[in-house]
Every structure is written in C-alpha cells, then in structure tokens.
Amino acid sequence: MTARVALVTGAGRGIGREIARRLSGEGLRVALVARDRDQLARTASGCAGATMVLPADVTEPEAAEHVHAEIERTWGPVEVLVAGAGAGHSARLERTTDADWQRMLDLNLTAPFRFVRRAVPAMRDAGWGRIVVVASSAAHIGEPYIAAYTASKHGVLGLVRSAAAELARTGVTVNAVCPGYVDTPMTEATIANIVASSGRSPEQAREALERKQPIGRLITPAEVADAVWFCVASSAVTGQAINVDGGAVQ
C-alpha cells in the first residue's frame, strides 16, 4: 500500500479524521476533504505521511470532479476512496420537511455516488482499487424519528452492493462499513437533540444510546477505522456491509 493515493471525504473530524490518520499510518498519501479548512489542517497535523488539504462541500454537483482533478494533477489517480462525509437528522415523520429529506439524500447518498462514479474509471483501467463507504447500522434497520437518514443509508448500501457486483472482476472492491453510535461530535448532537426533546439529562441520553449496543458502550472512531482498513487491505471482500455496532445488528 505504500504511497498509494487515498481520498477521504468527511476528514475534518470524528470518524473521517481517524480513518485518514489510519490510512496515513499505513503508508498511503491521503487527500483530505471537508468544508472546514482549519479542521482539515488539524487532521493533517496528526497524519504520519503526505497529505493534501482540499476544502470542499461534497454536496456541490461539481465537487467530485474538482477534487479528483486536483489530486490527479499532483499525485495521480485516486486508488483508495473512502466516502466518509455524512450527517444525521432526527424528527417525527410529519415534521420532516422536504428540505430535511433532500439534505439527507444529497449528503449521504448522492455525494458518495458522485465520488464513486468519478473514481471508478481510473481504478478499472488500473485493475486495482478500493472503495469504502461509511454507512450506518441504519442501513439495515428502521428506527423511529430518523426516516430521512435511514432512507439515505439504505440507499447508499444499495449503491455499494450494485457497484461491487459490477466491478467484481476488475480488481476493484466496494464495501460499506456500518457503525452504530460512535463517540463523535455527530453523536453529541444526537444527545443534545434527545435532551431538548425529552427533558432527560445529557448523561441519561448518552446512556440510552450506549444501551442500544449489546456491548454497553459507544463505538470508538478507531474501531471504525480498523474496519475500513480491513476493507482496504482485503482483495476478496467486496459487496459487504461490515457492522461495527457492538452486536446490535446480527
């Protein structure tokens, strides 16, 4: 893997930051994409090797083209793509607006599709490539109050499976990593939403999320990064949804 070119979206913090640092530690050159340049700089400061900071809003229609083109000018084609950018939304069905729905689809489904679509031709030509999408345990099951988020994650898992089937004989693997509740800023936002809507304390809200996982705790970003690295390192695993949720989905 030494000196292969990787691209990680959502690399500014949380899971994406940990994935970027893990790939860098394994010897890859890592292009870091997120909206916040300062957050990307902090990610880069913790990487072991060469990085490229590329601030971008992945929901913009031309973002995938612009990001890939910049990487290609400097390092060559992307060989490892990790689509880690994402966000959640919680509301009752009747309070989920069209804008809420579209925002979840744009970020969690359409953006990964565009980045995968842009990466595939060079990978196919090279006869080698790794694509990993950070999905969610919500890609498998439905829970109350997260209809838009769940629909987007179900959709992106369908994208992964279809792309894996199409590319199976090309040397390109496509997998999803499906975390449960991870100890990240996104989960902190979920806790704040629970507090605001239920009157529970932050400690009670956090404990409720921990109880959703049989191991009784939140997943760490490093544990998700381990699963991503497994998908990158393996040539025989493709079309899979790797659950990192403490046994919640079996």
Q: Which domains does the chain have, with CATH numbers?
A: 5-180+220-243 (3.40.50.720), 181-218 (no CATH)
Q: What is d(CA 221, CA 239) in angstroms, rounded to the nearest whole number? A: 22
Q: Mean pLDDT lowest for which of 108-112, 122-126, 158-162, 199-203?
A: 199-203
User: Looking at the predicted structure, is the pLDDT value of residue 187 above 90?
Assistant: no
pLDDT tens across 90-106, in order?
A: 899 999 999 999 999 99
Catalytic site residue from 115, 149, 181, 229: 149
CA–CA separation, 53 vs 211, rounded Å? 37
- pLDDT: which is higher, 9 or 190: 9
pLDDT band at 197 (very low <50, low <70, confident <90, very high): confident
Are the beta carbons of 85 and 34 closer than 8 angstroms?
yes
Question: 52 and 74 in contact (C-beta within 8 Å)?
Answer: yes
Q: Is the pLDDT of residue 194 over 90?
A: no
**Separation of alpha carbons 248 and 23, rounded Å:** 27
Alpha helices in 26-146 (DSSP H): 37-45, 63-74, 98-105, 111-126
Q: Are 10 and 34 in contact (CB under 8 A)?
A: yes
What confidence score (pLDDT) does residue 98 get? 98
State the pLDDT at residue 1. 82
pLDDT confidence of residue 238: 98
Active site residue 181: no
Confidence band for 20, pLDDT divided at 50, 70 and 90? very high
